[in-house]
């Protein structure tokens, strides 16, 4: 299929100008030469966003709106019970209740919306969009956010899947040897069908034993005209204190979009991102002329400097957690970067969707 961009590119011919998305001078009779700038659209997301960027780019190629594109992408993941870090199937708080956070920003209209500690809605990003579209506010939380969502027609559903509940029960049992919660091994009642569904006992604890599993999806996009939008959505840190809000729904922390400059979002330890207003910092660094990769790495260095608590540092004095930024600028340059090596992010550009390695500050000791 010939897209408008590929047609424009073909007419521009291959060369440095085409590679930069700069079309040759179009001369109307008697008019001065006009240089039209076109951007190569690109959509990026956290590593769990390959399906999201694929869907978002389909919307962009159908000339859809940038916010619609990223929302159509991330809602696939929000509704997927297999992804335990986002939406339906997300891991619950310490009381076993799934509480979701999300924010959205629409570059062309400078719109923003967000929800936090939202219970019972599979796709909180769509409620964040409704906050932007149907209220004079930016941020709704808790029961008020849920009542608003219900009024907008979002069904209230049970978000705790059997798998998420099983992992929560296991975590609760290992909380302390001073409480009355016990594992089946301790009660000697290690029977195969203690939980319904998949056999419990084996494999209940994942590689996060001792650490709190977390995860999020962030997705942002720039289209051919240089318009930008972004969304971040999460169930936050597993086993969190009820009411805990991370960076994801906080405009400037887990997401920031300035249609004149670029977009950025984050995943990882939200507390560190909030304290450094991470995504806004990245966009401001890009405004100052930095490439997205350098801007992300500089914002990550600020987190390292802010991390002085011994409990959050390893033997080398470095953060014992990671944070990832995903940034795209108005020219279509993009990057993912993390504190620690090994992270990947999802990219869709030029008809190709792939994971790419994130830039990083540190490599773990071998
Ligand atoms: N940033 C999310 C939060 O702190 C969690 C994550 O991305 O892993 O809520």
Q: Is 83 exposed, middle or buried (0-12, 13-18, 19+ CB in 10 A)?
A: buried
Long-range contacts of 195-200 (CB under 8 A, 24+ apart): 195/162, 195/165, 195/166, 195/169, 196/162, 197/162, 197/163, 197/166, 198/162, 198/163, 198/166, 200/166, 200/170
φ, ψ of residue 17 to 5 degrees: the values are -60, -45
Topology (CATH) of 42-161+204-362: 3.60.20
- Cα(112) to centroid of ligand 1, in Å? 19
Name residues of the chain where pLDDT drops below 70: 1-36, 190-214, 366
The answer to whether 84 and 213 have CB atoms below 8 angstroms apart is yes
- Annotated catalytic residue within 75, 84, 161, 216: 216
With a 6 Å cutoff on the Cβ, whether 247 touches ligand 1 is yes
Residue range 217-265, pLDDT digits in tens: 999 999 999 999 999 999 999 999 999 999 999 999 999 999 999 999 9
With a 6 Å cutoff on the Cβ, whether 84 touches ligand 1 is no
Pocket probe for ligand 1: among 215, 232, 268, the residue whose CB has the most ligand atoms within 8 Å is 268
With a 6 Å cutoff on the Cβ, whether 249 touches ligand 1 is no
For residue 178, the model assigns a pLDDT of 72
Per-residue CA distances from 79 to 82, 114, 363 (Å): 9, 18, 34
Using the atom order of ligand 1, give the atom closest to the CA of residue 46.
7
With a 6 Å cutoff on the Cβ, whether 267 touches ligand 1 is yes
The gap from C-alpha 113 to its chain's centroid, in whole angstroms, comes to 15
- H or E element that contains 345: strand 344-349
For residue 177, the model assigns a pLDDT of 74
- Cα(28) to centroid of ligand 1, in Å? 52
Q: What predicted TM-score, i.e. pTM, was given to this entire model?
A: 0.84
Strand ranges of the sheet holding 334-340, from the earlier edge strand across to the other edge? 255-258, 262-268, 323-329, 334-340, 359-362
φ, ψ of residue 106 to 5 degrees: the values are -110, 110
**Looking only at Cα atoms, what is the longest distance across the chain?**
90
- Cα(358) to centroid of ligand 1, in Å? 17
β-pairing, 334-340 with 359-362? parallel
Pocket probe for ligand 1: among 93, 141, 236, the residue whose CB has the most ligand atoms within 8 Å is 236
Catalytic residue check, 216: yes
For residue 212, the model assigns a pLDDT of 61
- What is d(CA 322, CA 39) in angstroms, rounded to the nearest whole number? 32
With a 6 Å cutoff on the Cβ, whether 265 touches ligand 1 is no
For residue 124, the model assigns a pLDDT of 97
With a 6 Å cutoff on the Cβ, whether 117 touches ligand 1 is no
- Residue 311: DSSP 8-state: G
Using the atom order of ligand 1, give the atom closest to the CA of residue 216.
7
With a 6 Å cutoff on the Cβ, whether 107 touches ligand 1 is no
How do the domains of the chain map onto residue ranges? 42-161+204-362
């Amino acid at each position: 299929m010939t897209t408008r961009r590929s047609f424009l590119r073909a007419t521009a011919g291959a060369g440095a100008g085409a590679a930069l998305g700069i079309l040759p001078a179009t001369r109307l009779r008697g008019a001065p030469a006009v240089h039209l700038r076109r951007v190569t659209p690109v959509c990026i997301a956290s590593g769990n966003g390959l399906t999201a960027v694929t869907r978002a780019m389909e919307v962009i190629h159908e000339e859809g709106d940038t916010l619609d594109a990223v929302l159509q992408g991330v809602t696939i993941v929000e509704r997927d019970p297999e992804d335990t870090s986002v939406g339906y199937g997300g891991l619950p708080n310490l009381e076993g209740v799934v509480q979701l956070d999300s924010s959205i920003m629409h570059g062309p209209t400078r719109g923003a919306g967000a929800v936090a500690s939202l219970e019972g809605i599979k796709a909180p990003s769509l409620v964040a969009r409704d906050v932007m579209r149907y209220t004079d506010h930016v941020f709704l939380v808790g029961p008020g956010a849920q009542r608003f969502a219900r009024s907008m027609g979002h069904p209230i559903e049970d978000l705790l899947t059997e798998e998420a509940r099983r992992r929560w029960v296991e975590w609760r049992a290992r909380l302390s040897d001073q409480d009355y919660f016990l594992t089946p091994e301790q009660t000697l009642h290690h029977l195969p069908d203690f939980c319904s569904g998949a056999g419990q006992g084996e494999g209940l604890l994942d590689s996060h034993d001792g650490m709190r599993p977390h995860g999020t999806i962030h997705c942002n996009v720039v289209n051919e005209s240089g318009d930008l939008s972004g969304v971040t959505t999460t169930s936050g840190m597993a086993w969190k204190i009820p009411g805990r809000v991370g960076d994801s729904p906080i405009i400037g922390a887990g997401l920031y979009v300035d249609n004149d400059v670029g977009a950025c979002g984050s995943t990882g330890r939200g507390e560190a991102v909030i304290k450094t207003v991470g995504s806004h910092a990245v966009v401001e660094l890009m405004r100052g002329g930095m490439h997205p990769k350098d801007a992300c790495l500089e914002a990550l260095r600020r987190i390292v400097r802010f991390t002085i608590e011994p409990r959050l540092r390893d033997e080398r004095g470095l953060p014992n957690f990671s944070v990832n930024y995903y940034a795209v600028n108005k020219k279509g340059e993009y990057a993912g970067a993390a504190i620690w090596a090994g992270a990947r992010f999802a990219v869709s550009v030029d008809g190709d969707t792939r994971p790419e390695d994130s830039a990083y500050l540190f490599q773990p000791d071998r």
